[in-house]
Amino acid sequence: MRYDNGKRIKELALYKASSQRAFALSLGVSTQVFANWVSRGVGPATLLKICEVYPDVNFEWLSKGEGNMLLSKNKDSQNTSDATDINIWDKNDYRLVPQINIDSVGGLHSGNAITDEPQYVVKMVPFVGARDGDVCITESGESMSPTIPPGALLLLRNVPDWREYFGYGNIFVIVLRDGRRITKEVQRYSENPKEYVLCHSHNPNVQDEELPKSMILAVWKVVKVLIDKGY
């Protein structure tokens, strides 16, 4: 089925991001998927997803071309449709978080999808409950599926004192000394807890592995996961 909103989606992308690729990344989709959006248009579910990531966008303009591209921050404005009411403007505790142009891979022995590129801010993404200093990045690889599938956005919070207290049972993005970034649930490694942690994968086809603490450069806790629904 075709919709007539593809041109408006492209116009929004040019307004909101430095490129259509950057806009696609901010929504957790590939450039090919975004190209299909532009050529064929999208349904209401995808439009709502766009409005969740960009809460100042007018749903009525995006779907029908009515009104202005951007909403007024006043909830009593002319936009009172049900779709607009779902918008994140209704949540008073969200915060815009910078999405960094890097990824974290689920596999302990896998390479990152984004390497040797500048770590610039792709877009500001709204997250409820975010704090100053939080960032978000993209997940790649299947090792943490179905909890964190490829394309998901991870809200991260730095753990400066991980050497003293790791917080076993939580999911972390671990920056290794060789530059790789991996996503794992960290558990206590009972055989040698002072020098190792156990990296647990949520994909049942991927084995758990011990990781020497000496290989760890930095640790970020995964606070929230924004999953790409494949719209």
Q: Which residues make Cβ contacts (< 8 Å) with residue 15, sequence separation at least 6?
A: 69
The pLDDT, as a whole number, for residue 93 is 61
Q: How many other C-beta atoms are found inside a 10 Å radius of the C-beta of residue 177?
A: 10
CA atoms within 13 A on the CB side of 190: 0
* Residues of the chain scoring pLDDT < 50: 74-92, 230-231
The CA–CA distances, whole Å, from 54 to 10, 99, 117, 141, 144 equal 14, 13, 25, 26, 27
Specify the pairing of strand 171-176 against strand 209-212: unpaired
Q: What are phi and psi of 3, to 5 degrees?
A: -120, 160
Q: What is the pLDDT of residue 25?
A: 81
Task: Give the separation between CA 48 and CA 55, rounded to whole angstroms.
Answer: 10
Give residue limits of the domains in the chain. Answer: 6-90, 94-226
Under 8 Å between Cβ of 104 and 139: yes
Residue 119 three-state SS: coil
Instruction: Please name the CATH architecture into which domain 6-90 falls.
Output: Orthogonal Bundle (1.10)
Calpha distance 154→228 (Å, rounded)? 11
Write down the pLDDT at residue 136.
94
Output the pLDDT for position 90: 42
What is the structure's pLDDT at 105? 92
- The span from the CA of 110 to the CA of 75, in Å, is 46
Handedness of CA 63, 67, 70, 72 (dihedral sign): negative
Instruction: Assign 3-state DSSP to the chain and report helix, strand, coil percentages, each to 5.
Output: 25, 30, 45
Q: What is the per-residue pLDDT for 81? A: 36
* Residues making up the chain, counted from first to last: 231
- Class of domain 94-226 as given by CATH: mainly beta
- The span from the CA of 106 to the CA of 185, in Å, is 10
pLDDT of 170 reads 93
Distance separating alpha carbons of residues 120 and 131, to the nearest angstrom: 20
Give kind and range of the element (H or E) at residue 100: strand 94-105
